[in-house]
Chains A and B, each alone.
Chain A
Amino acid sequence: MFAYTMRRLLMLIPVLIGMTLLTFSIVHLIPGNPAQVILGEQASEQEILNLQETMGLNEPYVVQYFLYVGDLLQGDLGTSLRSKAEISNEIVPYIIATFELTFFAMLFAIFVGVNAGIISAWKQNTWFDFLAMLFALVGVSMPIFWLALMEQLVFAQELGWLPAYGRQNSRDPIATITGFYVLDSLIHLDFPRAFTVLKHLVLPSIALGTIPMAIIARMTRSSMLEVMRSDYIRTVRAKGSGQFLVIYKHALKNATIPVLTVIGLQTGVLLGGAILTETIFSWPGIGRYIFDAINYRDYPVIQSGILVIAFIFVIINLVVDLLYAFIDPRIKY
């Protein structure tokens, strides 16, 4: 286990180098001079030249790349061209906001997805199964932005039940401790605020969580079907255990492994794919951060933002792999 962990950690190095190379190259292929974009249409030529100089845009790409990696190694993600703030500081609240949203989206996806999958497997070929799988199919193919807009239209605008923008009530901001607003309001024992924050989470979480929910439901179903046919389940049944116990105690554990993979992968995908949801719901997360940076050609932010997301993705995969070995001792590496 230890050797395996070490091996996996070492494998991160080439992956990370590849990632820096990739983000750097992609960002520099975006057309247009960032100095011009930052200064806008009212800028004079001299101002643009000056800004290019201070931004280091006159250096060759290779030099810019090595400067960038050199800074990265010292934990310096660079300075935002737009806000002039250190990206490593600035990015933290955005990441936390995205984590909070992703967490609730995955909570929704796992709870609904796993249960729907189980029931579908259990009641294979019944109307529930067909209906659930039809929903899963629709869920997978649903454009997130469309779902988000429909949610806003129905639940926020027409019914007025749920807020459709932001993380909290503008008039009544929360004193942040951790940056996770649900947690913060609970630490303050401020339940009304916690409730407000949760309400803000509902619509974006569903929008973001629908695709993974559908994928998890399908995965759980097929995995469960396989396990349910195995000999040991027949033995458990023969011993007279109730259906509920069979499924939730005996079958689910062994059906978990492939589902866990999907959950891990989907969590990573959500972290990076939150741009649309965050923009539509005015959620100040990493997706919005990068989206704004792209508009401004804020190279350092785009690079570092993508890099941070990729890094988190890689780490999640690592954790999932390590979890396999932990959950199922039969897995040997």
Chain B
Amino acid sequence: MKKWSLLLAMMLAFVLVLAACSGDGGANDDEGTDEGDTSEDTSEDTDSEDTDSEDTDSSEGEAAAGDNVLVYARGGDSESLDPSSTTDGESSRVTKQIYESLLEFEDESFDLKAGLANDWSVNDDGTVYTFQLEEGVTFHDGTDFNADAVKTNFERWSDPEHEYAFTEDNYVYSMYGTMFGGFKGDEGHVIEEINVKGDYEIEFVLNRPLGYFLQNMAMSYFAITSPAALEEHGASINENPVGTGPFKFESWSRDDSIVLNAFEDYRVDGQPKLDQVIFQVIPDNSARLTALRSGDIDVMDGLNPDDAQIIEEEEGFDLYVRKANNFGYLGLNTEKEPLDNKQVRQAINHAVDRQAIADALYAGYAQPAKNPLPPNYLGYNDEVEGYEYDPEKAKELLEEAGYGDGVEIELWTMPVARPYMPDPETVAEIIQNNLSDVGITAEIVREEWAPYLEKTAAGEQEMFMLGWSGTNGDPDYFLSALLHGDNAGSSNRTFYQNDEVDQLLDEAKVSVDQDERADLYMQAQELISEDSPMVTLVHSEPVLAASSDVVNYVPHPSTSESLAEVELDR
């Protein structure tokens, strides 16, 4: 009997050891919740279980690793550290620190400022752009930055045959193709030639004007890699990034963390202010919040809007709001009955309560949208009246259109959450209710994400939910992609076609006079609003949280901001 107790005691001891491993004030966090979709976007999880407010001691590592290390936690890992070969926001968030492009965006907007080029000019017909480059800039590998490096990079992206294109290793520079009209040899490719005019002067010759050429130059996707590094690392450049940015790459442990160290020879004196930045992957939103509150991390992306209030009320933390750079919409397939009738589309626009959606699902961090373009964009037309929530008006319009007795329409709902649509299923239900109030019976259709995208591009749907996010801060990227007749069947999934709109968009695309462009886009928005091929729902404003120790952190609408000026005040 005694020995049995001995064994039992051993087992108990083991269990106790396990529990005691807990020790004092460990690094702790979370209660995670469900699946944790780790795909490219940030605010994916829609679970909003609040975490309790008891604050646990910060982890033992804090003392160990010096005070000047910023830990930035996010929902998913980077795809690639070669900026141009990916379209993923989590990737550019990191490459933004390592690399620089010829131009840069202002801290909180898409206005342009100098980057690796300190001056630039364009000829009168908008076909020749000349950039003066910063002198005395070195890459992290010690080689010099100059015009040849710029040329090498652009040729690498545009020419699939280029020695550094790495086509056989699955490198695709799709952002380049989108922004510059295709690749070398393609009919639409806009860059005719690139001429090195001197060590620090480079000229881009276009075969036709492109109104947003300069905006493109500031995109983090077109940042300049050291040619010596391309030579050295070849196709593994995506794991060995070498740029001119404020931080240099140290290590990458996949699905875990990316470590960057300060680059001592950075071209701007006194920057960066941090010694080290660590990008930590924590897939679950609430787990990330717990980690922030326990001091394990300093900044967290992808805060659940419902948790924003906790952060605002809690001592020691700051809430940050990214400016809207997207919109979610209910697309109306203009080729399918009864949506081919303009009055029906207008009726649906009046029937949907945008404000209710913004309040219910974004905790107020969204504004109802009246144009298919975020406010603050060039040419945003605030004069457009938009459609008030007015069920009576909607009924009248339906009556006039001959659908007074009611009508049945399919409503396709997205299977994945996106920043512009954090909970598609609930949005679909709200819309379904709104529509039933005016006599429209919406039948909700669910599809897997991949077939969803394919089928909506092919036009199988009637009403459908989707959204769009900006990349270069130019209205063309929204209006042409979504509403130009030429894009019907790919990104234009409403199959909207209005020759007048197409012409306005075409003119705006090739103009380099920004005032003229703004005017053209404003006219286009008026026509689009009248035709109402979609119900623009809301512009969402993603929220982030950070410890109050973090100073000078400014979130950029593109989701990629430089951390060069960020400081820690501990």
List residues of chain A with CB under 8 Å of any chain B CB.
31-34, 36-37, 39-47, 50-51, 54-55, 79, 81-85, 90, 93-94, 108, 111-112, 115-116, 118-119, 122-123, 128, 145, 148-149, 152-153, 155-167, 169-173, 176, 192, 195-196, 198-200, 202, 206, 242-244, 279-282, 284, 288-289, 291-292, 295-297
Given contacts A32-B454, A169-B59, contact A153 B174 (CB under 8 A): no
Q: How many angstroms from the CA of A165 to the CA of B28 in the assembled complex?
A: 8
- Report yes or no: B450 in contact with A82, Cβ–Cβ below 8 A: no
CB contacts (< 8 Å) of B236 on chain A: these are 85
Sorted nearest first, the 4 A-B pairs with minimum C-beta distance are A32-B450, A161-B22, A172-B61, A160-B56
Given contacts A157-B30, A157-B51, A165-B30, contact A284 B296 (CB under 8 A): no
Q: How far is the CB of B63 from chain A (nearest CB, A)?
A: 9
Q: Which residues 68-84 in B have Cβ within 8 Å of A in the complex?
A: 69, 71, 73, 76-77, 79-80, 82
Given contacts A160-B57, A165-B29, A170-B278, contact A122 B4 (CB under 8 A): yes
CB-based nearest B residue for A281: B32
CB contacts (< 8 Å) of B499 on chain A: these are none
- Report yes or no: A170 in contact with B296, Cβ–Cβ below 8 A: yes
CB-based nearest A residue for B182: A46
CB contacts (< 8 Å) of A279 on chain B: these are 35-36, 38, 283
Q: Which of B14, B57, B449 has the most CB of A within 10 A?
A: B449
Q: How far is the CB of A303 from chain B (nearest CB, A)?
A: 15
Q: Which of A111, A170, A200 has the most CB of B within 10 A?
A: A170
* Complex partner residue of A115 from B10, B32, B73, B468, CB under 8 angstroms: B10
In the assembled complex, B463 has its CB within 8 A of some CB on chain A: no
Q: How many angstroms from the CA of A118 to the CA of B11 in the assembled complex?
A: 12
Q: How many angstroms from the CA of A149 to the CA of B31 in the assembled complex?
A: 6
Given contacts A44-B487, A171-B65, A199-B22, contact A157 B256 (CB under 8 A): no
CB contacts (< 8 Å) of B29 on chain A: these are 156-157, 163-165
CB-based nearest B residue for A166: B256
CB-based nearest B residue for A154: B31
Given contacts A172-B64, A295-B37, contact A167 B454 (CB under 8 A): no
19 chain-A/chain-B pairs, Cβ below 8 angstroms? A32-B453, A42-B469, A47-B174, A47-B177, A54-B172, A149-B32, A152-B32, A157-B52, A158-B52, A160-B57, A165-B29, A167-B256, A169-B64, A171-B64, A196-B27, A243-B4, A279-B36, A280-B36, A281-B32
Q: How many angstroms from the CA of A91 to the CA of B13 in the assembled complex?
A: 37
Q: How far is the CB of B375 from chain A (nearest CB, A)?
A: 20
In the assembled complex, B451 has its CB within 8 A of some CB on chain A: yes
In the assembled complex, B569 has its CB within 8 A of some CB on chain A: no
- Report yes or no: A123 in contact with B14, Cβ–Cβ below 8 A: no
Q: How far is the CB of B416 from chain A (nearest CB, A)?
A: 9
- Report yes or no: A93 in contact with B450, Cβ–Cβ below 8 A: no
CB contacts (< 8 Å) of A118 on chain B: these are 7
In the assembled complex, B308 has its CB within 8 A of some CB on chain A: no
- Report yes or no: A31 in contact with B448, Cβ–Cβ below 8 A: yes
CB contacts (< 8 Å) of A192 on chain B: these are 60, 64
CB contacts (< 8 Å) of B59 on chain A: these are 163, 169, 171
CB contacts (< 8 Å) of A41 on chain B: these are 453, 466-468, 491
CB contacts (< 8 Å) of B296 on chain A: these are 163, 169-171
Quick check: which of B193-201, B284-292, B351-359 contacts chain A, the rest being far away?
B284-292
* Complex partner residue of A165 from B61, B254, B287, CB under 8 angstroms: B287
Q: How far is the CB of A106 from chain B (nearest CB, A)?
A: 15
CB contacts (< 8 Å) of A152 on chain B: these are 30-32, 287
Q: How far is the CB of A188 from chain B (nearest CB, A)?
A: 13
- Report yes or no: B278 in contact with A160, Cβ–Cβ below 8 A: no
Interface size on B, residues (CB 8 A): 100
Q: Which of B79, B170, B239 has the most CB of A within 10 A?
A: B170
* Complex partner residue of B7 from A36, A46, A47, A115, CB under 8 angstroms: A115
- Report yes or no: B31 in contact with A157, Cβ–Cβ below 8 A: yes
Contact with A along B81-101 (1 / 0, CB 8 A): 010010100000000000000
Q: How far is the CB of B475 from chain A (nearest CB, A)?
A: 15
Q: How far is the CB of A199 from chain B (nearest CB, A)?
A: 5
- Report yes or no: A282 in contact with B281, Cβ–Cβ below 8 A: yes
CB-based nearest A residue for B73: A170
CB-based nearest B residue for A200: B27
* Complex partner residue of B11 from A42, A84, A115, A153, CB under 8 angstroms: A115
Q: How far is the CB of B85 from chain A (nearest CB, A)?
A: 7
CB contacts (< 8 Å) of B291 on chain A: these are 165, 170
- Report yes or no: B238 in contact with A83, Cβ–Cβ below 8 A: yes
* Complex partner residue of B14 from A40, A47, A112, A292, CB under 8 angstroms: A112
List residues of chain B with CB under 8 Å of any chain A CB.
3-4, 6-8, 10-11, 14-15, 18-19, 21-23, 25-40, 51-52, 54, 56-57, 59-62, 64-65, 69, 71, 73, 76-77, 79-80, 82, 85, 87, 166-167, 169-172, 174, 177-178, 182, 235-236, 238-239, 251, 253-257, 259, 278, 280-284, 287, 290-291, 294, 296-297, 448-451, 453-454, 457, 466-469, 481, 487, 489-491
CB contacts (< 8 Å) of A164 on chain B: these are 28-32, 287, 290
CB contacts (< 8 Å) of A36 on chain B: these are 450, 453-454
Given contacts A171-B62, A199-B23, A242-B3, contact A297 B11 (CB under 8 A): no
CB-based nearest A residue for B468: A42
CB contacts (< 8 Å) of A115 on chain B: these are 7, 10-11
- Report yes or no: A161 in contact with B238, Cβ–Cβ below 8 A: no
CB contacts (< 8 Å) of A42 on chain B: these are 87, 178, 468-469, 481, 491
* Complex partner residue of B282 from A93, A108, A162, A282, CB under 8 angstroms: A282
Q: How many angstroms from the CA of A41 to the CA of B60 in the assembled complex?
A: 43
Q: How many angstroms from the CA of A40 to the CA of B481 in the assembled complex?
A: 14
CB contacts (< 8 Å) of A170 on chain B: these are 61, 71, 73, 257, 278, 280, 291, 296-297
- Report yes or no: A163 in contact with B178, Cβ–Cβ below 8 A: no
Q: How many angstroms from the CA of A118 to the CA of B10 in the assembled complex?
A: 13
- Report yes or no: A54 in contact with B65, Cβ–Cβ below 8 A: no
CB contacts (< 8 Å) of B23 on chain A: these are 161, 195, 199
CB contacts (< 8 Å) of A162 on chain B: these are 21-22, 26, 28
Q: How many angstroms from the CA of A232 to the CA of B37 in the assembled complex?
A: 57
Q: Which of A119, A128, A161, A167 has the most CB of B within 10 A?
A: A161
CB-based nearest B residue for A118: B7
- Report yes or no: B174 in contact with A43, Cβ–Cβ below 8 A: yes
Q: How many angstroms from the CA of A260 to the CA of B412 in the assembled complex?
A: 52
CB contacts (< 8 Å) of B448 on chain A: these are 31-32
Q: How far is the CB of A157 from chain B (nearest CB, A)?
A: 4
- Report yes or no: A196 in contact with B60, Cβ–Cβ below 8 A: yes
Q: How many angstroms from the CA of A206 to the CA of B22 in the assembled complex?
A: 13
- Report yes or no: A83 in contact with B80, Cβ–Cβ below 8 A: yes
- Report yes or no: B28 in contact with A161, Cβ–Cβ below 8 A: yes
CB-based nearest B residue for A291: B38
Q: How many angstroms from the CA of A148 to the CA of B33 in the assembled complex?
A: 9
